[in-house]
Amino acid sequence: MSMIIVTGGAGFIGSAVIWMLNNKGFDNILVVDQLGESRKWKNLVNRKYRDYIHKSAFLESLEKHQFDGVDTIIHMGACSSTTETDADYLMENNFHYSVTLATHALANNIRFINASSAATYGNGSMGFRDDPATLHSLKPLNMYGYTKHLFDLWAVRSKALKSLASLKFFNVFGPNEYHKGDMSSLVYKGFFQICEKGLLRLFKSTHQEYEDGGQRRDFVYVKDCAAIIGWLFENPSITGLFNVGSGNDRSWNDLAGALFSATEKTPQIEYIDMPEQIRKNYQNFTKADQKKLKDAGCPIQCTRLEDAVSDYVVNYLQKEDPYL
């Protein structure tokens, strides 16, 4: 039986990928991650997989061909903190590690699916088209986005993009993000604000083009992300750079409304000043151009924001076991 490797498999999107694979009947899965003292391990409790290996030992073991029959590597592993300041760590962990893994995969005819990020688009002034020809024009606003951008540039320059799929994820939310702390979605953090205080705090706008809470994002449910990865897994001939979003831009106020509806609470929003340290790099608008993915034949229809928030709240956050 062929083996599937999922790096970052105990993480947010990675564990959702394993959930998707389990639902398709696959459990010969090697999980690669760094659990440390975080709560990520809980994301694996409900999942079926063959083994776990620490990320520091994984590359050496792979290059020694200690894993037989690997046909797919789904590389979700990375430091995803947009506020991480150790640039050397991010270069090694997000960029060089990914290049080494992709190079090995392609040299051994292994399907490689990589996690890039919409953070590569910077302030969005160049738009949100997943066109490799425009990559050199993009200017990421944080080091996390830059390291993801560097991988995509490498994939184009080395012509590896013709043999792999790199996915630019937009604002992902959903079950199994509970270990992410400040990097968790507003849906998750807002749920507890509403339950504990009866209100939700949103940032005031710093641009006159947008009302308070009117800044717009492409929010995408993690189950939809997993479904798209599942489609790419089943269609290994599909390669290139692809946006993974809903294709819709919705306001933070829309998200708040969906949360209050799902929790059956009376809407009460408190607008607070945006911290100075994030104003300069704050994205007021994101919207994934999904045409390329659709033209490739992807049949996945992303869940409407209100329905996704309701599913997350009712079937996970309000349950004793909130994990996929």
- Say if residues 120 and 148 touch (Cβ distance below 8 Å): yes
Catalytic residue among 40, 148, 168, 180: 180
Catalytic residue among 49, 97, 121, 144: 144
The answer to whether residue 223 is catalytic is no
Residue 273 has φ and ψ, to the nearest 5°, of: -65, 140
Measured CA to CA, the distance from residue 35 to residue 256 in angstroms comes to: 32
Measured CA to CA, the distance from residue 141 to residue 145 in angstroms comes to: 7
The answer to whether residue 180 is catalytic is yes
Dihedral sign for Cα atoms in the order 287, 293, 295, 298: negative
Of 21, 317, 49, nearest to 189 by C-alpha is 317
Record the tokens describing residue 77, joined without a space.
Answer: 């592993």
- Say if residues 143 and 78 touch (Cβ distance below 8 Å): no
Bridge pairing between strands 200-203 and 269-272: parallel
Which residue carries 């007021």 as its tokens?
Answer: 284
Record the tokens describing residue 174, joined without a space.
Answer: 């959903």
Record the tokens describing residue 186, joined without a space.
Answer: 């507003």
Neighbouring-strand partners of residue 51? 30
Supply the DSSP symbol for 228: H
CB atoms within 10 A of CB 160: 20
Q: Which amino acid is at 145?
A: G
- CA angle, 141 then 146 then 151, to 5°: 155
- Say if residues 31 and 6 touch (Cβ distance below 8 Å): yes
Residue 91 has φ and ψ, to the nearest 5°, of: -60, -45
Measured CA to CA, the distance from residue 297 to residue 219 in angstroms comes to: 22
Supply the residues annotated as catalytic: 144, 180
